[in-house]
């Protein structure tokens, strides 16, 4: 009987030793995920707040940049988008920094990034066809609030922002938030 107890004690001690690295790995993975989500929040917030700050006080200039995509002509919708879009970008950025309604902000940013990516690809192919320019030579101001750049760089940048917003949208790990609606 005593031998069985010693064996059970040794097996349970061995099990604890084997489980300890798994627990540490799980803790390290969770901590890494939390910091990755925090990094994504800060990068997206910085990009969209900076972009919004350059467009909020210049809606007519922004409307002209939107019009250059040749998707919307002079219409009330063009001016509504030029006025409202920078404020949405600003509110989403502030939401990501403060931690209030992160999932809603990330959903909005995901939808906006998909839209931005679509119109940039459209404009890139339009420029390629109209000016007979190679893909890597297409250069324009996208209207995002940053300087003019090559289209391929902007597409990669928008894909990166889309990836970060999708990471936030589907993440279960949030750290440093002001409002937690569910446990």
- Tokens (6 digits) for 25: 């790995």
DSSP H or E segment with residue 86: helix 76-98
Give the whole-angstrom CA distance, residue 92 versus residue 85. 11
pLDDT in tens, 7-29: 444 545 545 545 555 555 555 77
Tokens linked to 49:
């707040």
pLDDT digits (tens, 9 = 90+) for 39-57: 889 999 999 999 999 889 8
- The span from the CA of 134 to the CA of 16, in Å, is 62
101 Ramachandran zone, left/alpha/beta (phi>0; psi -120 to 50): left
CB atoms within 10 A of CB 59: 17
In 10 A of CB 157, how many CB atoms? 18
Give the pLDDT band of residue 142 (cuts 50, 70, 90).
Answer: confident
| Per-residue pLDDT at 8 | 47
Residue 84 above 60 pLDDT?
A: yes
What is the reported pLDDT for 7?
46
Task: Retrieve residue 27's tokens.
Answer: 């803790």
Banded pLDDT at 93 (limits 50, 70, 90): very high
Find the largest Cα–Cα distance for the chain. 90
What value does the CA radius of gyration of the chain take, rounded to a whole number of Å? 24
What confidence score (pLDDT) does residue 159 get? 94
* Integer Cα distance of 90 and 86 in angstroms: 6
**pLDDT computed for residue 89 by the predictor:** 94
Predicted confidence (pLDDT) at residue 66 exceeds the cutoff of 60: yes
- DSSP assignment, residue 73? -
pLDDT for 171 equals 83
Average pLDDT of span 80-99: 92
DSSP 74: S
pLDDT at 15: 53
């Amino acid at each position: 009987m005593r031998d069985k107890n010693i064996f059970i004690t040794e097996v349970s001690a061995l099990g604890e030793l084997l489980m300890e690295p798994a627990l540490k790995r799980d803790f390290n993975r969770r901590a890494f995920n939390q910091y990755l989500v925090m990094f994504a929040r800060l990068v997206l917030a910085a990009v969209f707040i900076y972009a919004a700050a350059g467009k909020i006080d210049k809606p007519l200039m922004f409307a002209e940049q939107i019009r250059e995509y040749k998707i919307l002509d002079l219409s009330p919708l063009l001016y509504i988008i030029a006025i409202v879009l920078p404020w949405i970008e600003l509110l989403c950025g502030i939401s990501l920094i403060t931690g209030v309604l992160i999932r809603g902000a990330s959903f909005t940013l995901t939808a906006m990034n998909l839209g931005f990516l679509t119109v940039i690809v459209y404009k890139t192919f339009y420029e390629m066809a109209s000016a007979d320019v190679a893909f890597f030579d297409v250069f324009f101001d996208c209207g995002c609030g940053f300087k003019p750049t090559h289209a391929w760089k902007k597409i990669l940048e928008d894909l990166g922002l889309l990836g970060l917003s999708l990471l936030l949208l589907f993440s279960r790990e949030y750290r440093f938030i002001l409002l937690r609606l569910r446990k």
